Chain A
Amino acid sequence: MDWLDWVLLAARVVLVFGALIVSVMLAVWAERKIVADMQTRLGPRRAGPFGMLITLADGIKLFFKEGITPTQVERPVYILAPVLSLVPAFLAFAVVPFGAGVELFGRRVPFQLADLNIGILWVLAMGSLAVYGVVLAGWSSGSAYPLLGGIRSSAQMISYEIGIALGVVAVLMYSGTMRMSEIVAAQDRIWNIVPQFPAFLIFVTAALAETNRPPFDLPEAETELVAGYFTEYSGIRFAMFYLAEYIHTITVAAVAVTLFLGGWRGPVFDFLPWLWPLLWFVLKVVALIFVFVWVRATIPRFRYDRLMSFGWKVLIPWGLVWVLATGAIVVLPEEIGRDALVRWVAIGAGVTLLLSLIAPLLTRGRAGTRP
Chain B
Amino acid sequence: MDLIVFWIMAPVSVGAAVLMLLQRNAVYAALFLVLNQFTLAVFFVLLDAHFLAAVQVIVYAGAIMVLFLFVIMFLGVDRREALVEPIRGQRGLAIGLGLLLAAGVVLAIGLGIGLARAPGPAPGGDNIEAVARVLFTDYVFPFELTSILLIIAAVAAMVLARRKARGLPDLADEAPAGREPERVP
Direct contact of A and B (CB under 8 A): yes
Q: How far is the CA of A129 from the CA of B28 in the complex (A)?
A: 16
Asked if residues A158 and B67 are in contact (CB atoms below 8 Å), the reply is yes
Asked if residues B61 and A129 are in contact (CB atoms below 8 Å), the reply is yes
Asked if residues A135 and B57 are in contact (CB atoms below 8 Å), the reply is no
Q: How far is the CA of A116 from the CA of B128 in the complex (A)?
A: 11
Chain A residues in 8 Å Cβ range of B7:
none
Asked if residues A158 and B63 are in contact (CB atoms below 8 Å), the reply is yes
Asked if residues A161 and B54 are in contact (CB atoms below 8 Å), the reply is no
| Distance to closest chain A CB from B111 (angstroms) | 36
Interface majority SS on B: helix, strand, loop or mixed? helix
- Which size class do A's interface residues fall under? 20 to 34
Chain B residues in 8 Å Cβ range of A76:
28
Asked if residues B128 and A135 are in contact (CB atoms below 8 Å), the reply is no
Chain B residues in 8 Å Cβ range of A161:
62-63
B27 interface residue per 8 A CB criterion: yes
B16 interface residue per 8 A CB criterion: no
Closest B residue to A177 by CB, please name it: B128
Chain B residues in 8 Å Cβ range of A74:
25, 27
Asked if residues B62 and A117 are in contact (CB atoms below 8 Å), the reply is no
Mask: chain B, 18-59; 1 = CB below 8 Å from A; 0 = not: 000000010110010010000000000000001101110110
Q: How far is the CA of A118 from the CA of B126 in the complex (A)?
A: 10
Stretch at the interface among B68-76, B83-91, B115-123, B175-183: B68-76
Chain A residues in 8 Å Cβ range of B34:
132
Asked if residues B50 and A116 are in contact (CB atoms below 8 Å), the reply is yes
Residues of chain A from 79 to 110 with CB closer than 8 A to chain B in the complex: none
**Which one, B25, B31, B51, B61, contacts A121 given CB within 8 A?**
B51
A214 interface residue per 8 A CB criterion: no
B127 interface residue per 8 A CB criterion: yes
| Distance to closest chain B CB from A1 (angstroms) | 9
How many A-B contacts at CB < 8 Å in the complex?
73
Residues of chain A from 46 to 62 with CB closer than 8 A to chain B in the complex: none
Asked if residues A178 and B73 are in contact (CB atoms below 8 Å), the reply is no
| Distance to closest chain A CB from B54 (angstroms) | 4
| Distance to closest chain B CB from A231 (angstroms) | 16
B66 interface residue per 8 A CB criterion: yes
Asked if residues B62 and A131 are in contact (CB atoms below 8 Å), the reply is yes
Mask: chain B, 66-107; 1 = CB below 8 Å from A; 0 = not: 110110011000100000000000000000000000000000
A9 interface residue per 8 A CB criterion: no
Asked if residues B69 and A139 are in contact (CB atoms below 8 Å), the reply is yes
Asked if residues A135 and B73 are in contact (CB atoms below 8 Å), the reply is yes
Closest A residue to B34 by CB, please name it: A132
Asked if residues B70 and A129 are in contact (CB atoms below 8 Å), the reply is no
| Distance to closest chain B CB from A180 (angstroms) | 13
Asked if residues B66 and A135 are in contact (CB atoms below 8 Å), the reply is yes
Closest B residue to A154 by CB, please name it: B70
Asked if residues A118 and B50 are in contact (CB atoms below 8 Å), the reply is yes
Asked if residues B27 and A158 are in contact (CB atoms below 8 Å), the reply is no
A331 interface residue per 8 A CB criterion: no
Residues of chain A from 114 to 165 with CB closer than 8 A to chain B in the complex: 116-118, 121-122, 124-125, 127-129, 131-132, 135-136, 138-139, 147, 150-151, 154-155, 157-158, 161
| Distance to closest chain B CB from A305 (angstroms) | 15
Q: How far is the CA of A128 from the CA of B63 in the complex (A)?
A: 7
Asked if residues A150 and B73 are in contact (CB atoms below 8 Å), the reply is yes
Chain A residues in 8 Å Cβ range of B127:
117
Chain A residues in 8 Å Cβ range of B58:
121, 124-125, 128
Q: How far is the CA of A127 from the CA of B62 in the complex (A)?
A: 8
**Which one, B57, B61, B63, B126, contacts A117 given CB within 8 A?**
B126
Chain B residues in 8 Å Cβ range of A129:
57, 61-62
Asked if residues A77 and B31 are in contact (CB atoms below 8 Å), the reply is yes
Chain A residues in 8 Å Cβ range of B69:
135-136, 139, 154
Chain A residues in 8 Å Cβ range of B54:
118, 121-122, 124-125
Chain A residues in 8 Å Cβ range of B126:
117
| Distance to closest chain A CB from B99 (angstroms) | 29
Q: How far is the CA of A138 from the CA of B51 in the complex (A)?
A: 32
Chain A residues in 8 Å Cβ range of B50:
116-118
| Distance to closest chain A CB from B59 (angstroms) | 9
Chain A residues in 8 Å Cβ range of B51:
118, 121
| Distance to closest chain B CB from A358 (angstroms) | 38
Asked if residues A117 and B128 are in contact (CB atoms below 8 Å), the reply is yes
A residues touching B (Cβ–Cβ < 8 Å)? 74, 76-77, 116-118, 121-122, 124-125, 127-129, 131-132, 135-136, 138-139, 147, 150-151, 154-155, 157-158, 161, 178
| Other A-B pairs, 5, CB within 8 Å; known A121-B55, A131-B66 | A116-B50, A122-B54, A124-B58, A125-B61, A135-B70
* 9 closest A-B pairs by CB: A128-B62, A121-B54, A125-B57, A118-B54, A154-B70, A125-B58, A118-B50, A128-B58, A135-B69
What are 13 A-B interface contacts by the 8 Å CB criterion?
Answer: A117-B127, A118-B51, A121-B55, A121-B58, A124-B62, A125-B57, A125-B62, A128-B58, A128-B63, A128-B66, A135-B73, A150-B73, A161-B62
